Amino acid sequence: MNVLTARNFHKLLLTLTVRYRLNYTQPPIDYLKSDTAAIFGVGTGIYTIPDISAILGLPQAKVKRWLLEYWNARFGKSSGSAFSDGSGRDLVTNFYTLIEFFAFYQLREEGVSTQKIIKAHQVLEKILQTNYPFAKSNIFTDGKQVLFAGVVGEIIKADETLQLTIKEIFEPFCKKVDFNNNHLAERFFPLGKDHKIIIDPKRQFGQPVVGGTNVLTETVFNLFRGGESIEVIVGLYDLTVDQVKDAISFHRNAA
């Protein structure tokens, strides 16, 4: 898995902490309403282009292009916000952008055109009062356009006309995401919820961890790759065999 090494990750974290004047000790930012929120705060995670590529199984070039061309250049221009910091290999973003990338990818897989997705994102930013509308649970698609659940169960077309249509509620495309009471993404399960790998921005700065623990999946995989048996790793970290196997599978698939 092409991710930051522990040493480089902590070096990057230190740099960001100094740059943002210890934002990590500040109260959490309300990303639902704030249009001027900082990119990083308590529980937002830090993700490089290789991180997102490995977690979502997307080519690095595509992830970088999406971030720079769509999120920074288009969405950022319309909202007056930035979605990343740094440049080149040090380009980083947060958990909500990662989830938006997942949503974007899912919508494209459902046949929704890039143009319609971009248009919908810009409209929903204003309606939902958030820079991260695709990180909300009440987003749906019928394969032709982006929709979102409105009040009293209607579906509102996410375009400039905002016409109401009466349709059945579609299954949310974010099948691998847990949402909080405000319908905002809070955890991501890259292998699905029936497996033991979790991306939680409140744990290990958003790096993949095993189940309900703070054990990094990369640590487990490196031990296995170094020759340790699954049984030994289970004993070292008090994990189950399934947890260890999922960590190994996750990194093998991401390689």
**pLDDT value at residue 32:** 40
β pairing state of 185-188 and 177-179: antiparallel
Give the model's pLDDT for residue 218.
Answer: 94
pLDDT digits (tens, 9 = 90+) for 66-116: 999 999 998 887 777 789 988 887 899 999 999 999 999 988 888 888 999
DSSP 3-state assignment of 232?
helix
Cβ(64)–Cβ(105) below 8 Å: no
Secondary structure (DSSP) of 93-148: E-HHHHHHHHHHHHHHHTT--HHHHHHHHHHHHHHHTSS-GGGBS-EEE-SSSEEE
Stated pTM of the model = 0.80
Phi, psi (degrees; rounded to nearest 5) at 199: -105, 105
CA dihedral 123, 125, 128, 133 (to 10 degrees): 110
| Among 9-18, 79-88, 101-110, 146-155, the least confident range | 9-18
Residue 119, pLDDT above cutoff 80: yes
What average pLDDT is seen over the chain?
Answer: 80
For residue 126, is pLDDT > 80? Answer: yes
pLDDT level of residue 183 (50, 70, 90 thresholds): confident
Residue carrying structure tokens 């999406």: 66
Q: Would you list the DSSP string of 130-197?
A: SS-GGGBS-EEE-SSSEEEE-GGG-EEESSTT--EE--PPPPPS-TTEEE-TTSBEEEE-TT-TTSSE
Query: Is the pLDDT higher at 217 or at 15?
Result: 217
Average confidence (pLDDT) over 140-158: 77
Lookup: tokens for 127: 């309606």
Among 73, 68, 69, 51, which Cα is nearest to 60's? 51
Instruction: Give the mean pLDDT of 123-145.
Output: 86
